[in-house]
Amino acid sequence: MALSTKLFTVVALSLLILSPLDVAKAQPIAAGLSWSFYARSCPNVESIIRNRLERVFRDDVGQAAGILRLHFHDCFVQGCDGSVLLDGSSSGPSEKSAVPNLTLRAQAFTIINDLRRRVHRECGQVVSCSDIVALAARDAVVLTGGPNYNVPLGRRDGLNFATQNATIDNLVAPFANTTTVLNKLAVKNLDATDAVALSGAHTIGIAHCSSFTDRLYPNRDPTMDQTFANNLRTTCPTPNTNATTNMDIRSPNIFDNRYFVDLMNRQGLFTSDQDLYTDSRTRGIVTSFAINQTLFFERFVIAMLKMGQLNVLTGNRGEIRANCSARNINNLFISSVVEDEGPQTSQF
């Protein structure tokens, strides 16, 4: 065997036994980010966030899904710059007219602001809101049973909130087919494996009727299992019933590979989910994740690292917000008062 082949085999074999933590560290990272960004300025940032979220999710595991999705919306619209958090952002809390806004959980924003307050209380105003969201999303995965991984840090917070157009253009609708999903993700240098792995985040969380009733009325989407459809019709007797359902019927609150088993049984909730199994370009990837959770976890970590570094602001760009919901310039008075208040009781 030629030396290069031998080397390749050794590298390939060692990759097989790498843990997700190592898989993360093996990925290239964006200029300006670092694996140890807060090692001096806020060495406990990760434990502050993890410890707090353990308690938050123990009270309501659904919040983990809300936070994971928040990170996705942040990164896809104008980069992982915390813009989704700004009041007035089209995907954020107070914009009433952007379509994709309607289902980000209001509580997710409150949780991030609470984490920010705890971190800044210990370390000062040195950790960005966008880094807090990225770490919280990782913890949402870990604390519901998914893979652990390191998050490169050093993102700074953007100064501009996302417009409605940018929000609609960059996010994918649940009605999208695989062609649309792959095209929208390709723009962000995410390939088919990334697309399937990231969609696997739908292994936790809920969706509102309006996100999938186009597959029930007036006729059942033939790629949907009949019994599954009947049950969904009971949950959503009309297309706009204000109700929700779990996205992964097998293990709704556990981050595992059952979502892919759902797809193989024609029990995917959205068109964007189920079509990944219908479409020949992604079907094999779905199957491989359904039969091998380790593989799914590995690919998911890689895809999350890519997504988590989309158009990040580093160095002197952007700012470290004192309040995740507002730019500092709009927040001068508040930032100087609130940080001196000392320990506060929290609603969680």
Ligand X SMILES: *[C@@H]1O[C@H](CO)[C@@H](O)[C@H](O)[C@H]1NC(C)=O
Catalytic site positions:
73
Closest approach of ligand X to the CB of residue 180, in Å: 5
Rounded Cα gap, residues 177 and 181, in angstroms: 6
- Does residue 82 bind ligand HEM (CB under 6 A)? no
204 binds, among ligand X, ligand HEM, none (CB under 5 to 8 A by kind): ligand HEM
Q: If you compute the radius of gyration of the chain from its CA atoms, what whole number of angstroms results?
A: 20
The DSSP call for residue 210 is G
| Residue 87 vs 221, nearer CB to ligand X | 87
C-alpha count within 13 angstroms, C-beta hemisphere, residue 320: 16
- Within 8 A by CB and 6+ apart from 63, the residues are 56, 57, 105, 107, 108, 111, 140
Please, which residue, 29 or 68, has the CB nearer to ligand HEM? Answer: 68
Exposed/middle/buried for residue 325 (C-beta within 10 Å: 0-12, 13-18, 19+): buried
Q: Is 120 annotated as a binding residue?
A: no
Contact call for residues 335 and 323 (beta carbons, < 8 A): yes
How far apart (Å, rounded) are the C-alpha atoms in residues 1 and 257? 37
The tokens for 329 are 């310039």
Minimum Å distance from CB 135 to ligand HEM? 14
How does strand 244-246 pair with strand 206-208? antiparallel
User: Which parts of this chain interact with ligand X (CB under 6 A)?
Assistant: 16, 87, 96, 99, 101-102, 165, 177, 179-180, 242, 292, 294-295, 298, 323, 325-326, 331, 334, 338
Range 276-335, binding ligand HEM (CB under 6 A): none
Nearest-5° angle of CA 29, CA 90, CA 131? Answer: 30
- Identify whether the C-beta of residue 150 lies closer than 8 Å to the C-beta of residue 95: no
| 169 marked as binding residue | no
Q: How far is the CB of 313 from ligand HEM (least distance, A)?
A: 20
Query: For ligand HEM, which is the closer residue by CB, 17 or 106?
Result: 106
Query: Is 98 a binder of ligand HEM (CB under 6 A)?
Result: no
Q: Does residue 30 interact with ligand HEM by CB under 6 A?
A: no
| One-letter amino acid for residue 106 of the chain | A
Output 173 or 295, the one with its CB closest to ligand HEM: 173
Q: Write down the least CB distance from residue 264 to ligand X, Å.
A: 17
148 binds, among ligand HEM, ligand X, none (CB under 5 to 8 A by kind): none
Tokens of 281: 């370009």
191 is in an annotated binding site: no
Residue 114: closest CA among 49, 189, 47, 35: 49
Cα separation, 262 vs 289, in Å, equals: 11
Instruction: Examine residue 202 and tell whether it contacts ligand HEM (CB under 6 A).
Output: yes
287 marked among binding-site residues: no
- Does 196 contact ligand HEM by CB under 6 A? no
Q: Which residues bind ligand HEM (CB under 6 A)?
A: 62, 65-66, 68-69, 72, 103, 105, 172-174, 176, 181, 198-199, 201-202, 204-208, 211, 272
Q: Would you list which residues are annotated within the binding site?
A: 74, 77, 79, 81, 83, 95, 202-203, 248, 256
